[in-house]
Structure 1
Amino acid sequence: MLRLVRYARPYWKYLIIAVISTFSITGLNLIGPWLIRDLIGVVTNLNRYTNAKELIVRLSIILTLTYIARTVFQFLSSYLSHYGAWQLVAYMRVLVYEKLQKLSLRYYHDKQTGQLMSRVINDTATFEMLIAHALPDLFTNALILLGVTIILFIMNPILAFLSLVPIPFLVYGGAVFTKRILPSFRFAQRALADLNADLQDNLSGIREIQAFNQQEREIGKIKNRAYEHATALIGALKLSAIFHPVLNFFSSIGTVIVVSLGGIMAIKGKLPVEDIVGFILYLSMFYQPITALGQVLENLQQALAGAERVFEVLDTEPDVKEKEHAIDLKNIKGKITFEHVNFSYNNEKPVLEDISFTINPGQMVAFVGPTGVGKTTIMSLINRFYDVDSGSIKIDDIDIREVSLRSLRNNISMVLQDVFLFNGTIAENIAYGNEKATMDDIINAAKIACAHDFIMQMPDGYNTYIGERGIKLSGGQKQRISIARAVLKNSPILILDEATSSVDAETEREIQNAINNLAGSRTILIIAHRLSTVKKADNIIVLKDGRIVEQGKHEDLIKRKGLYHYLCSMQFLTQEENIKLA
Structure 2
Amino acid sequence: MSYISEKRKEELLRRYGSKKESNANIIGRPGLPKGPGSKGPGGPRGSIGGGKPKNAYATINRLLAYIGRDKVKILFVFSCVLVSSLASLAGSYVLRPIINNLVAADRTAEEKINNLVVGILIMACIYMIGVLCSYLQQRIMIGVSQKALIKIREDLFGKIQKLPVKYHDTHTHGDVMSRFTNDLDSVGEMLNNTMSQIFSGVLTLIGTITLMFVTNWILALVTIVTVPLLVYAGGMIGKQSRKYFIGQQQALGAVNGYIEETVTGQKVIKVFCHEETAMGEFEFLSDDLRNKQMKAQFFGGIMGPVMGNLSQISYALSATIGGILCLTKNFDIGGLTIFTNYSRQFSRPISELSMQMNTIFSALAGAERVFEVMDEAPETSDQEDAIEICAEGNRVEGAQLIKGEVTLKNVTFGYVPGKTVLKNINVKAKPGQKIAFVGSTGAGKTTITNLINRFYEIEEGEILIDGINIKNIKKDSLRRNIAMVLQDTHLFSGTVRENIRYGRPDATDEEVITAAKIACAHSFIERLPQGYDTVLEGDGANLSQGERQLLNIARAAISKAPILILDEATSSVDTRTEKHIERGMDQLMKNRTTFVIAHRLSTVRNADQIIVLEHGEIIEQGTHDELIKMGGRYYQLYTGAIELD
What TM-score, normalized to structure 1?
Answer: 0.91
3-state SS of the aligned residue for 1:114?
helix
Of 204, 215, 236, which aligns to 1:155? 215
Contact 2:611 2:622 survives alignment (8 Å): yes
Matches of 1:207 and 1:281, distance apart in 2? 65
3-state SS of the aligned residue for 2:94?
helix
Contact 1:320 1:384 survives alignment (8 Å): no
Matched, 1:404 2:474: yes
Paired residue for 1:253? 313
Matches of 2:194 and 2:539, distance apart in 1? 41
3-state SS of the aligned residue for 2:586?
helix
* Equivalent residues in 2 for 1:317-356, closer than 5 Å: 317-318=377-378, 320-331=380-391, 332-356=402-426
Matched, 1:19 2:97: no
* Equivalent residues in 2 for 1:30-109, closer than 5 Å: 30-45=89-104, 47-48=106-107, 56-109=116-169
Relative to 1, partners in 2 of residues 1:545 and 1:233: Cα closer, same or farther, differing over 3 Å? closer
Contact 1:93 1:121 survives alignment (8 Å): no
Contact 2:300 2:357 survives alignment (8 Å): no
Paired residue for 1:238? 298
Paired residue for 1:381? 451
Paired residue for 2:484? 414
Contact 2:564 2:589 survives alignment (8 Å): no
How far did residue 51 of structure 1 move? Answer: 7.1
3-state SS of the aligned residue for 1:255?
helix
Relative to 1, partners in 2 of residues 1:559 and 1:210: Cα closer, same or farther, differing over 3 Å? closer
Of 483, 502, 507, which aligns to 2:553? 483
Q: Which stretch has the larger CA shift, 276-285 or 289-298?
A: 289-298
* Equivalent residues in 2 for 1:451-490, closer than 5 Å: 451-490=521-560
Matched, 1:172 2:232: yes
How far did residue 196 of structure 1 move? Answer: 0.4
Matches of 1:451 and 1:490, distance apart in 2? 19
Could you report, residue by residue, the CA deviation over 1:77-133 in whole angstroms, capped at 9, with x for unpaired residues? Answer: 212222222322232223223223322222334322112222232223332244333
Matches of 2:482 and 2:356, distance apart in 1? 53
Relative to 1, partners in 2 of residues 1:186 and 1:321: Cα closer, same or farther, differing over 3 Å? same
Contact 1:415 1:495 survives alignment (8 Å): yes
How far did residue 233 of structure 1 move? Answer: 2.0
Could you report, residue by residue, the CA deviation over 1:243-272 in whole angstroms, capped at 9, with x for unpaired residues? Answer: 322222221122222222322333457122
Relative to 1, partners in 2 of residues 1:363 and 1:571: Cα closer, same or farther, differing over 3 Å? farther
How far did residue 41 of structure 1 move? Answer: 3.3
Relative to 1, partners in 2 of residues 1:328 and 1:55: Cα closer, same or farther, differing over 3 Å? farther
Contact 2:607 2:623 survives alignment (8 Å): yes
Matched, 1:5 2:64: yes
Matched to 2:175, the amino acid is Q
Relative to 1, partners in 2 of residues 1:173 and 1:205: Cα closer, same or farther, differing over 3 Å? same
* Equivalent residues in 2 for 1:176-575, closer than 5 Å: 176-268=236-328, 270-318=330-378, 320-331=380-391, 332-570=402-640
Relative to 1, partners in 2 of residues 1:563 and 1:93: Cα closer, same or farther, differing over 3 Å? same
Contact 1:426 1:464 survives alignment (8 Å): yes
3-state SS of the aligned residue for 1:185?
helix
Contact 1:195 1:226 survives alignment (8 Å): yes
Matched to 1:203, the amino acid is V
Matched to 1:33, the amino acid is S
What TM-score, normalized to structure 2?
Answer: 0.83
Relative to 1, partners in 2 of residues 1:299 and 1:283: Cα closer, same or farther, differing over 3 Å? same
Relative to 1, partners in 2 of residues 1:423 and 1:217: Cα closer, same or farther, differing over 3 Å? farther
Relative to 1, partners in 2 of residues 1:395 and 1:46: Cα closer, same or farther, differing over 3 Å? farther
Of 29, 50, 60, which aligns to 2:88? 29
Matches of 2:629 and 2:286, distance apart in 1? 62
Relative to 1, partners in 2 of residues 1:288 and 1:485: Cα closer, same or farther, differing over 3 Å? same
How far did residue 48 of structure 1 move? Answer: 5.0
How many equivalent residue pairs? 574
Matches of 1:302 and 1:491, distance apart in 2? 48
How far did residue 452 of structure 1 move? Answer: 0.9
Q: Which stretch has the larger CA shift, 545-554 or 153-162?
A: 545-554
Same amino acid, percent of matched pairs: 36
How far did residue 308 of structure 1 move? Answer: 2.5
Q: Which stretch has the larger CA shift, 136-145 or 194-203?
A: 136-145
How far did residue 15 of structure 1 move? Answer: 2.9
Matches of 2:410 and 2:591, distance apart in 1? 28
Of 175, 180, 201, which aligns to 1:115? 175
3-state SS of the aligned residue for 1:287?
helix
Q: Which stretch has the larger CA shift, 474-483 or 157-166?
A: 157-166
Matched to 2:619, the amino acid is V
Structure 1 residues without counterparts, runs of 5 or longer: 575-582
3-state SS of the aligned residue for 1:470?
coil
Matches of 1:181 and 1:128, distance apart in 2? 19
Matched to 1:340, the amino acid is N
How far did residue 149 of structure 1 move? Answer: 1.1
Relative to 1, partners in 2 of residues 1:205 and 1:423: Cα closer, same or farther, differing over 3 Å? farther
Matched to 2:81, the amino acid is T
Contact 2:238 2:357 survives alignment (8 Å): yes
Matched to 1:459, the amino acid is P
Matched to 2:158, the amino acid is E
3-state SS of the aligned residue for 1:87?
helix
Matched to 1:156, the amino acid is N
Is the helix fraction higher in 1 or 2?
1
Paired residue for 1:124? 184
Q: Which stretch has the larger CA shift, 498-507 or 58-67?
A: 58-67
Matched to 2:345, the amino acid is M
Matches of 1:475 and 1:103, distance apart in 2? 29
Q: Which stretch has the larger CA shift, 130-139 or 375-384?
A: 130-139
Contact 2:518 2:588 survives alignment (8 Å): no
Relative to 1, partners in 2 of residues 1:330 and 1:440: Cα closer, same or farther, differing over 3 Å? closer
Could you report, residue by residue, the CA deviation over 1:310-356 in whole angstroms, capped at 9, with x for unpaired residues? Answer: 22222222464433453322343212111111111212542211112
Contact 2:637 2:643 survives alignment (8 Å): no
How far did residue 572 of structure 1 move? Answer: 12
Q: Which stretch has the larger CA shift, 43-52 or 156-165?
A: 43-52
Could you report, residue by residue, the CA deviation over 1:271-327 in whole angstroms, capped at 9, with x for unpaired residues? Answer: 222222222222221121122242244433222222322222222224644334533
Matches of 2:362 and 2:615, distance apart in 1? 50
- Alignment root-mean-square deviation, CA: 2.6
How far did residue 570 of structure 1 move? Answer: 2.2
